[in-house]
Amino acid sequence: MKFRPCIDLHNGQVKQIVGSTLSDVEPSQLQTNYTADKPASWFANLYRQDDLRGGHIIKLGPGNDDAAKSALAAWPGGMQIGGGINYDNACDWLDLGASHVIVTSWVFSNGQIDEGRLADLVRRVGKKRLVLDLSCRRRGDDYFIVTDRWQKFTEVQVVPEVLERLASCCDEFLLHAADVEGKCEGIERDLVLKLADWSPIATTYAGGIRGVEDLQAIAELGRGRIDATIGSALDIFGGSLISYAEAVEFHKRNDL
């Protein structure tokens, strides 16, 4: 199990946001937990110093390209990039230093998996440099993939056959549990269990992590197969529940 660091960008700044409040329709409802006074490149350099590979930079809307480029330049090949990635710009971001491109909305079009777009993207960037973001929200006891900054439900459910199909097209999965993202109220335990049972490839879970006890729960529930990202709870993002040093130490103990 690995600790995967993150850099979430909104309006050109590193922020931690309650995921369920992101809305194009009601921007005034946006709930921001933290806005950094340091640039994105500072965080990328920190992760580079601790050799935390495979973290992700997520551009939440427009106005974030320059900040994302600065982070990639600080650690070429060390981080993945997501947010507005499509067939036309994916190779540009790889050329700028991203290890992988992360894609959701462009592949999950009109509520379904666009098989043509997915095949085109795999041909262009290669399976080994593609991460599919399967961020999801709960409906009853089930989880459905959501797009457009977690605002729109698709008709694609997180189930074994979907994960098997998509795993044949990409290198990793990234899943934000959007209902608990940024709330520091605990993880979606059911989702972690399902991912451990169903995902055939490397998978990173994000959402609700409060501290080392939640990291340990992911390690146990996920049987060491599910990696984790921490946002608002982390001290470098203004949190008080877990220090960055604790997360790095956990990573070193568990990255076997």
Q: What is the pLDDT along the chain (256 residues), one digit of tens a residue?
A: 999 999 999 999 999 876 555 555 445 566 787 899 999 999 999 999 999 999 999 998 899 999 999 999 999 999 999 999 999 999 999 999 999 999 999 999 889 999 999 999 999 999 999 999 999 999 999 999 999 878 899 999 999 999 999 999 999 999 999 998 878 889 999 999 999 999 999 999 999 999 999 999 999 999 999 999 999 899 999 999 999 999 999 999 987 5
Return the pLDDT at 25.
43
Tally of CB atoms within 10 A around 64: 23
How many residues can be counted in the chain? 256
Gap between the Cα atoms of 135 and 108, Å rounded: 11
- If you search the block for the tokens 């209902």, which residue do you land on? 179
- If you search the block for the tokens 């390209």, which residue do you land on? 65
120 backbone dihedrals φ, ψ, rounded to 5°: -60, -40
Q: 60: which residues sit within 8 A by CB, 6+ positions away?
A: 8, 9, 10, 15, 17, 22, 83, 149
Return the pLDDT at 52.
97
Taking the CA atoms of the chain, what radius of gyration do you get in angstroms? 17
Tokens of 140: 């009853």
- Report domain 6-254's class: alpha beta
Gap between the Cα atoms of 28 and 251, Å rounded: 37
DSSP 181: T
Residue type for position 220: E
The residue extents of the domains of the chain are: 6-254
Residue 205 pairs in a beta bridge with 175, 228
H or E element in which residue 109 lies: strand 108-109
Return the pLDDT at 20.
53
Tokens of 181: 């993202």
Return the pLDDT at 18.
63
Gap between the Cα atoms of 162 and 113, Å rounded: 10
Return the pLDDT at 44.
98
Return the pLDDT at 17.
79
Please name the residue ranges forming H helices in 50-138: 65-74, 90-95, 115-125
H or E element in which residue 56 lies: strand 55-59
pTM, rounded to two decimals: 0.93
Gap between the Cα atoms of 222 and 217, Å rounded: 8
Return the pLDDT at 181.
82
- If you search the block for the tokens 């997915």, which residue do you land on? 118
Tokens of 133: 């973001």
DSSP 12: T
The sign of the torsion formed by the CA atoms of 98, 100, 101, 104 equals: negative
Gap between the Cα atoms of 241 and 239, Å rounded: 6
